[in-house]
Amino acid sequence: MNWQDGYVTEIPYTQGFYHHLSPANLDLCLLTKQVKSPRLDQRFTYCELACGQGLTTNVLAAAYPQGEFYATDFNPTHVAQAQDLAQATGLTNVTFSDQSFQEYLETDLPPFDFISLHGIYSWISGENRRVIQAFLKQKLKVGGVVYVSYNTLPGWAVMAPIQKLMQFQRERSTGTVVERLKTTLEFVELLKTNQGIYLQHPWLQSRLEQLKSQDVSYLVHELFNQHWHPLYVDEVMTEMATAKLNYVGSAHLVDHVDAFNLTPTAINHLTTLSDPVLRELVRDFYLNTQFRRDVYVRGAVTLSGEAQVSRLQNMQFILTVLPNLVKLEHQTGAGQVQLQASLYQPVVEHLASGAVTVGELVVRLAPQGITLQQIGQTLIVLTGLGYAHPVVGNGAQRERFNRVIIERAETAGELQFLASPLIGNGVKVSHLELLLLLAEQRQQPAVEFVWQILSRRGLQLTHEGKVLDTPEANRKFLKEQAANFQHQGRPLLQQLGI
């Protein structure tokens, strides 16, 4: 067996940051389920398996100076990129390795409070999954938390034959992996002349059109790996049980609110199912779930209702976007969902002014008849949608880390997250905003400085779907964006400790 073991290594995976892996997010998930989680205000250990280019681990290491972070990815190109960023930013609490799962299992490592696996579990062989199960059993502390995401069924059932065909065709085509992807997509496109599969599964047409517009690196790693096995949730639960792990819930917080995702009929049906495994499986059928983000615990300790309320009331939350960007209408599995304006707007208004405890929100909103239970659910939804976040730190800045990310925006634009120790997570910042921060960092006039960088790299701005094709139009747009950022975006970043 070669070291790739059927996994694509010809081109690197995308530089992604995945906020669901944050200890703060996992902590809130456990709290909603009345399960005790490791403390974040003291030293803790965290491990990411298959970390890719390591952006998530690096950002989290910057956001949690009290944590000790370990990560491995068997692709040395990925690890070299991860180590380069860690060294450039002066992180001393993160260690990367290019070992396989088996080699990492045999390595002398500390016991971990958190172990995360994002986008790997359903893309590897059964043998490697068993090694991961052994790793979790040996390396996770009692009371420790596991995050595992994976492609799931029934959502991938219709696409599975297409992936099989693409994989089969890929093995028989020549050229680079990118050229083979192009050839394979063209090959699959020919199926449109045979209406059989499309008549039975009309969703496939839109899915294949979507594939053509997605990032090449993502598609290669998503669809070209030899071991591509979407898994039912009960199968993963059974495998996790071999490591003494109990399923807690979803790391995607809005999944915890059934009314946001399911029709009343589905909710009523699920309440009749006493078997929790069956209930979770049937829920996936109602939602036709394609991708799961599951949280497991080794030795779940149940919090009393009183302890849960006490923790929640003492938690602080803060808005992570501008108030005008909070949308009350969302398309979900339940259809078009309208969030209750009389409930969400007052909460958003209070969070917009800065961090506030849930207990204080209860006091402020009591005259409007808004209860603790309503506030708690509102905060879960706002956090799950990316509008708000718990406060877990004191806001002490990791200036060097963010400064290096900003500096790198001059020559590349793929790193678009800064670390916020205040919320213990990464904050999305656009390439243009990073360049405006770079102008501030170098004390340069923003518009001309940014335009010189863009023109030197042959980049043009777009506005309302149109490319701005003259220097005058670009400068005018930059001036507007710089003013908006200075009055709105920059104060928000400062409020988040950036």
Residue 494 clears pLDDT 60, i.e. is over it: yes
Q: Using the 8-state DSSP alphabet, how is residue 75 labeled?
A: -
Cβ contacts of 419 within 8 Å, gap of 6 or more: 59, 60, 62, 63, 398, 401, 402, 426, 427, 498
Average confidence (pLDDT) over 278-307? 96
Alpha-carbon gap, residue 73 to 56, rounded angstroms: 13
What percentage of the chain carries pLDDT values higher than 70? Answer: 92
Inform me whether the pLDDT recorded for 10 exceeds 60: no
Residues 206 and 349 in one domain: no
Alpha-carbon span 79 to 246, nearest angstrom: 31
Residue 169 and residue 291 in one domain: no
**Averaged confidence pLDDT in the chain:** 90
Q: What is the pLDDT of residue 208?
A: 73
Q: Is 11 within a domain?
A: no
Do the domain assignments include residue 317? yes
One domain, residues 126 and 173: no
Query: How far is Cα of residue 32 from the mean position of the Cα atoms in its chain?
Result: 19
What's the alpha-carbon Rg for the chain, to the nearest Å? Answer: 23
- Quick check: is 8 in a domain? no
- Could you tell me if residue 4 is inside a domain? no
- pLDDT, residue 181, reads 73
pLDDT at 468 over 90: no
Domain boundary, last residue among 275, 297, 319 = 297
Report the length, in residues, of the chain: 498
Q: What is the mean pLDDT of residues 248-271?
A: 95
Is there a domain that residue 51 lies in? yes
The reported pLDDT for the residue numbered 193 is 60
Domain finish residue from 173, 193, 223: 223
Per the structure, the complete domain to which residue 213 belongs is given by 160-223
Same-domain status, 318 and 450? no
Are both 176 and 248 inside the same structural domain? Answer: no
pLDDT score for 3: 40
Residue 303 within any structural domain of the chain: no
Of 223, 250, 265, the last residue of a domain is 223
Cβ burial 276-293 (10 Å sphere, 16+ → b, else e): eeeebbebbebbebbebb
Do 139 and 240 lie in one domain? The reply is yes
> Distance between CA atoms of 255 and 234, rounded to whole angstroms?
17
pLDDT band for position 309 (cuts 50, 70, 90): very high
Q: Indicate whether 237 and 118 sit together in one domain.
A: yes
* 145 and 50 in a common domain: yes
Which pair of tokens denotes residue 69? 């972070």
222-226, 243-247, 397-401: the lowest-pLDDT one: 222-226
**Across 158-172, 241-255, 436-450, least confident range:** 158-172
**335: confidence class by pLDDT, cuts 50, 70, 90:** confident
Residue 357 in this model has a pLDDT that exceeds 60: yes
**Pair (219, 238) in one structural domain:** no
Q: Find the mean pLDDT for residues 93-122.
A: 96
User: How far, in Å, CA of 426 to CA of 63, rounded?
Assistant: 8
* pLDDT of 395: 62
Q: For residues 416 and 19, what is the distance between their CA atoms, to the nearest angstrom? A: 13
Which positions ≥6 away from 321 have C-beta within 8 Å? 386, 387, 492
pTM of the full structure: 0.90
How does residue 7 score in pLDDT terms, banded at 50, 70 and 90? very low
pLDDT exceeds 80 at position 428: yes
Answer yes or no: is 14 within a domain.
no
What pLDDT sits at residue 451?
93
Q: Which whole number is the average pLDDT over 417-428?
A: 95
Tens of pLDDT along 133-142?
999 999 999 9
pLDDT interval class at 190 (50, 70, 90):
low
In a domain, 131, yes or no: yes
Domains held by the chain: number? 4
Distance CA 89, CA 108 (A): 26
Q: What pLDDT does 198 receive?
A: 62
| CA dist 451 → 272, 311, 358, 437, 458 (Å) | 61, 48, 44, 14, 10
Q: What is the mean pLDDT of residues 50-67?
A: 95
Identify the weakest region by mean pLDDT among 176-185, 439-448, 474-483: 176-185
Residue 185 confidence (pLDDT): 74
93 with 219, same domain: the answer is no
Domain containing residue 72: CATH number: 3.40.50.150
CB 21 within 8 A of CB 118: yes
234 and 219 within one domain:
no
Residues with Cβ < 8 Å from 340, sequence gap 6 or more? Answer: none
Q: What is the CATH number of the domain that holds 366?
A: 3.90.930
The position carrying tokens 């063209």 is 186
| pLDDT single digits (tens) 382-416 | 999 999 999 998 766 578 999 999 999 999 888 99
Which residues have C-beta within 8 Å of that of residue 430, sequence separation ≥ 6?
416
- Quick one: 249 and 214 in the same domain? no
Q: Name which of 27-41, 200-214, 312-326, 371-385 the model is least confident about.
A: 200-214
| pLDDT-derived band at 168, boundaries 50, 70, 90 | confident
3-state class (DSSP) for residue 176: coil
Can you tell me the mean pLDDT for 160-188?
74
